[in-house]
């Protein structure tokens, strides 16, 4: 057997036992013996790498849950009675479900409050360098995030309360959707607490707050349309 034949044999049977002719060739050819040893060393290192089993952080599942709900892919309540709050069977988005039935909403100060939240988010956002990976953890100050959650919660309670005055089912649906976003926020906050220096964790938390602000904005938009 020649070296070229040996390599062709390796390509056809990269892991199988060597045929007798190939084994004989290895006894006499240092080049092919080194090749085989190197490939074996690569295989051993690869298997060692494969033994590590990294776990995705909880925020990945939280984000999937939100998206599943947004796309209306989840049709029935969980039989366990906990976990996701679920929409009735429908191929509609989670906003659409309650917006189609939304009542008139008259919150005179709502826009002002939304503007305050938006300003808070914008201030937080502009304090960050363009590349998230370059952001030092100090750039995303704890006070900037601390004020955001309670502010959003307070506004949401007002919006939900005003919906309740007109249509209890819409308020319930809104609460469900709030529950999902709050779920995501809780997971992200936990992640930030556990990894305070991780800019990605803070980015996810910012995104979660933004989703809650978006929810508030859509509710207010809807109320304005109804008023008109």
Q: What does the binding site for another protein look like in residue numbers (CB under 8 A)?
A: 10-14, 31, 34-35, 37-43, 45-50, 52-57, 59-61, 63-65, 67-68, 71, 73-80, 82-86, 89, 133, 179, 182-183, 186-187, 200
Question: Around Cβ 71, how many Cβ atoms within 10 Å?
Answer: 12
Which residue lies nearer to another protein by CB, 20 or 133?
Answer: 133
In whole angstroms, the minimum distance from the beta carbon of 32 to another protein comes to 11
Give the separation between CA 121 and CA 119, rounded to whole angstroms: 5
Q: Which residue has the tokens 């189609």?
A: 100
Question: Around Cβ 219, how many Cβ atoms within 10 Å?
Answer: 29
Crossing angle between the packed helical segments 110-126 and 199-227, to the nearest 10 degrees: 160
Question: Around Cβ 152, how many Cβ atoms within 10 Å?
Answer: 26
Contacts of 111 (CB under 8 A, 6+ apart): 220
Give the separation between CA 159 and CA 73, rounded to whole angstroms: 27
In whole angstroms, the minimum distance from the beta carbon of 117 to another protein comes to 20
Which residue lies nearer to another protein by CB, 64 or 101?
Answer: 64
Which residue lies nearer to another protein by CB, 35 or 145?
Answer: 35
In whole angstroms, the minimum distance from the beta carbon of 77 to another protein comes to 7
Which residue lies nearer to another protein by CB, 167 or 182?
Answer: 182
Contacts of 100 (CB under 8 A, 6+ apart): none
In whole angstroms, the minimum distance from the beta carbon of 200 to another protein comes to 5
Which residue lies nearer to another protein by CB, 46 or 112?
Answer: 46
In whole angstroms, the minimum distance from the beta carbon of 106 to another protein comes to 29
Which residue lies nearer to another protein by CB, 13 or 100?
Answer: 13
Tokens representing 21? 């002719």
In whole angstroms, the minimum distance from the beta carbon of 224 to another protein comes to 29
Which residue lies nearer to another protein by CB, 65 or 224?
Answer: 65
Closest CA to 183 of 97, 86, 85: 85
Q: Is 104 exposed, middle or buried (0-12, 13-18, 19+ CB in 10 A)?
A: middle
Tokens representing 216? 């508030």
In whole angstroms, the minimum distance from the beta carbon of 116 to another protein comes to 24
């Amino acid at each position: 057997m020649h070296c070229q034949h040996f390599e062709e044999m390796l390509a056809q049977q990269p892991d199988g036992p060597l045929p007798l002719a190939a084994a004989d060739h290895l006894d006499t050819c240092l080049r092919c013996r080194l090749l085989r040893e190197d490939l074996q060393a690569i295989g051993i290192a690869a298997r060692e790498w494969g033994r590590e089993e990294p776990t995705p952080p909880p925020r990945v599942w939280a984000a999937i849950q939100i998206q599943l709900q947004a796309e209306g892919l989840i049709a029935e309540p969980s039989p366990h009675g906990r976990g996701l709050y679920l929409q009735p069977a429908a191929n509609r988005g989670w906003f659409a479900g309650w917006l189609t039935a939304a009542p008139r909403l008259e919150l005179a100060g709502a826009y002002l409050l939304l503007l305050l939240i938006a300003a808070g988010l914008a201030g937080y956002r502009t304090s960050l360098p363009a590349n998230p990976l370059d952001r030092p953890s100090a750039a995303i100050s704890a006070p900037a995030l601390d004020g955001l959650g309670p502010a959003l919660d307070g506004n949401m309670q007002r919006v939900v309360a005003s919906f309740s005055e007109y249509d209890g089912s819409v308020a319930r649906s809104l609460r469900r959707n709030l529950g999902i976003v709050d779920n995501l926020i809780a997971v992200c906050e936990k992640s930030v607490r556990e990894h305070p220096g991780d800019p990605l964790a803070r980015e996810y938390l910012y995104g979660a707050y933004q989703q809650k602000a978006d929810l508030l904005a859509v509710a207010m938009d809807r109320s304005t349309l109804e008023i008109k």
